[in-house]
A and B are shown apart, each in its own frame.
Chain A
Amino acid sequence: MTDQTPPAEGRGPDTGRLIRYRDDEPVDHGAVTVDAFLDQSNASAVRVEPGDDARELIPHLERLALVEVNFPAFGDGRGYSSARILREAGYAGELRAVGDVLVDQLAYMRRCGFDAFDPDEHLDEHDVEAAFARWPEVYQPAADARTPIWAKRHG
């Protein structure tokens, strides 16, 4: 159940717009669809579309180095749940938001576990910095390491 026919391959290698918060080397091959990934055993990069069930990947997290979560339209928020579900299940590889990824969604994406962003359109560097610096605190735990306000109040 996807909104649109996914491309045979995701992006994988750097498009030149990649914003990445990891020290390891990026995966150098394209990501395959979830269906293709579940059918074949050698891919280490997969692309999750909004209608895919990210939980299907959980038995195979060990061999994944890159999960791309596609946002065909920024208003479709299913990818936030996909990301958090994978992090909650212990996925530690790269989690990359791709597609209609805009500056005003970056902070929430980061909180849901994304550590790389490959937007369709180039993002202004200063706007990106400002977006990540925006929130002095957070009200709720998510997939990042930030301490929620309630924990600080009762620390």
Chain B
Amino acid sequence: MYKYDSYDQAMVDARVEEFRDQARRRLEGKLTEDQFKPLRLMNGLYLQLHAYMLRVAVPYGTLDSRQMHALADIADKYDRGYGHFTTRQNIQYNWIKLEDAADILADLSKVEMHAIQTSGNCIRNISSDHFAGAAADEVVDPRPYAELLRQWSSFHPEFSYLPRKFKIAVIASEQDRAAMRLHDIGINIVQRNGELGAAFYVGGGMGRTPMIAPCINAFVPLDQFVTYAEACLRVYNRYGRRDNKYKARIKILVRELGAEEYTRQVEEEFALLLDQAIEPPLAELERIKGFFADPDFDRDAGDDIDRSDPDFALWVDRNTVAHKQAGYVSAVISLKPVGGIPGDATAGQMRLMADLAKRHSFDELRVMHTQNIVLPHVRKADLHTLWSALDDAGLGSPNLDTVEDIIACPGLDYCSLANARSIPVAQKISERFAKTGKTGTLGQLKLKISGCINACGHHHAGHIGILGVDRKGVENYQLSLGGSEAEDVSLAKITGPGFSEDGIVDAVETVTGVYERERTDGERFLDTYRRIGMAPFKEALYD
């Protein structure tokens, strides 16, 4: 994985000192809270309901064991002994004191980590495919491109006061495991006539106006793709709406201009920027690629797995994913124990995951946007040892991509923007399905819960989505069906009137009942919904 050189380290260290100075000036009264707010946000520091929340960047979701240990130490030293992995492959701590923030950033910088641009109206941490470098179907490892963009976007002088936040995802396979088209810019590295290039999808997003990004350029040559991103951003910075925060994302600009006109403006800007020589040389991309070379796989690793322990066999079936190297899999550590808080991990669990990664996965871990952790390169022969250690620590839930594998935002338990709680709903749903034993028979079922219209829990992209709203002071939950964040991307549609906290759990059970009744062989919930439409579900819910 990528290692800082003295330049990268100097930049992160400078940022720590800058923030320390800003916090000092805030405490001395030289900065008003209004002036300080965007500065602390650009360092990942939010003021939440009960305390400050610090969001730490995990660039393209990749970590080594030393970094995971540092995250555990921060959880113990500055928080309450746990952290929360997020849908943008980051980690956040919910109980932070302002006076500790600069020290935490300094601790992070010692392990080549930071909280740079994890919030604020700037280019956020770049996300990517959590199986990058391991997936059998990828054209190339997308992470070097993400790293190149990380450097380009860090402290970008022109794009640090954008109309609104800006999220970029990079993938390099037909299967989309990063919700690429639901980002402000989604980049797919593709191959055409033996050459690699970048397909640009611009103007996707969730929030109150969910949009699927249209492709605005199917093939930008690799020696121009940073310049192309710069052109996309400049048009947005100049013409994105600033009169209304809710209409300020790039998706609104692309929609109001039309994809064709937006593209025309980008191409015009791109032509001018090409003369400015702002593109890093391909040698820089090659330098970065060197850090992402395949680990030293055991070429003789066997494919046999002893499946005599049924609990282990179930975990293998559900939580391991095919690898490009024979004899290996990617193993998913579920952070979704039944009745637990989706995405939370204790410091002890983080340390265990770090140690297991070191022992069994070439010292590498990934954060998934579904709030789980991947050990990307595990020998099949090591799986039983791995699983036993995970299971002993409460990390062995065999529920990847099932109805228990719920994405949920922190909701009203933590978040000052939320209208309703998400966590208790997730807990009740996983408990209900674990109790009825239906989790397995329902197969792949992506359920996503947001506690407000900002959609941090990706409810628009859920096969089943739940949105918490406030109805006259009472939490109410809207149900939607048919969303997908994957290559078959679609936006979920609302079923009808919302439900109470207990009612929504029953409603989810009701719609899965319709699926069980109507499905044909091999159909997922989403496939059945797409085939039969909303009507049978509505009928079961409301008649």
Contact = CB atoms under 8 A, between A and B. Distances in A.
A108 B278 contact: no
Interface in B222-259: 234, 237-238, 242-243
A134 B12 CA distance: 11
Interface stretch (B148-156, B363-371, B399-407, B473-481): B148-156
Contacts of B238: 78, 81
A147 to B, nearest CB: 11
Contact of B157 (A130, A142, A152, A154): A142
B157 A108 contact: yes
Contact of B7 (A50, A77, A124, A153): A153
Interface residues of A, number: 37
A56 B154 CA distance: 30
A31 to B, nearest CB: 21
Interface stretch (B136-144, B158-166, B199-207, B297-305): B158-166
A111 interface: yes
Contacts of A3: 242-243
Contacts of B11: 135-137, 139, 149
A14 interface: no
A9 interface: no
B10 A136 contact: yes
A153 B161 contact: no
B39 interface: yes
A28 B317 CA distance: 77
A87 B413 CA distance: 49
A102 interface: yes
Interface string B1-25: 0000101101100100110011001
A77 B280 contact: no
Interface string A131-146: 0001111111110000
Interface stretch (B58-66, B281-289, B329-337): B281-289
Interface residues of B, number: 44
Contacts of A139: 11, 151-152, 154-156
A77 B237 contact: yes
Interface in A57-92: 74-78, 80-81, 84, 88
A112 B161 contact: no
B535 interface: no
A148 B11 CA distance: 12
A150 interface: yes
Of A102, A127, A139, A141, the most chain B CB neighbours within 10 A belong to: A139
Contacts of B273: 88
Nearest to B152: A140
Contacts of A153: 5, 7, 284, 287
Contact of A149 (B7, B158, B242): B7
A104 interface: yes
Given A80-B237, A104-B22, A139-B154, A150 B14 contact: no
A19 B318 CA distance: 63
B280 A150 contact: yes
B109 interface: no
A74 B278 CA distance: 26
B14 A112 contact: no
A85 to B, nearest CB: 8
B272 interface: yes
B193 interface: no
Contacts of A81: 158, 234, 237-238
A141 B275 CA distance: 13
B35 interface: yes
B321 to A, nearest CB: 34
Nearest to A80: B158
A135 B39 contact: no
B151 A149 contact: yes
B7 A127 contact: no
A140 B156 contact: yes
A3 B278 CA distance: 31
Contacts of B154: 139
A77 B39 contact: no
B161 A152 contact: no
B217 interface: no
A149 B157 CA distance: 15
A127 B158 CA distance: 21
B272 A88 contact: yes
Given A104-B39, A154-B281, A137 B161 contact: no
Contacts of B161: 74-77, 80, 105
Nearest to B22: A104
B237 A154 contact: no
B440 interface: no
Contacts of B14: 134-136
25 contacts: A50-B242, A74-B161, A75-B38, A76-B242, A77-B237, A78-B238, A80-B158, A80-B237, A81-B237, A104-B22, A108-B155, A108-B160, A127-B30, A134-B18, A135-B11, A135-B155, A137-B7, A137-B10, A139-B152, A140-B156, A150-B281, A150-B284, A153-B5, A154-B284, A154-B287
Interface of A: 3, 50, 74-78, 80-81, 84, 88, 102, 104-105, 107-109, 111-112, 124, 127, 130, 134-142, 148-150, 152-154
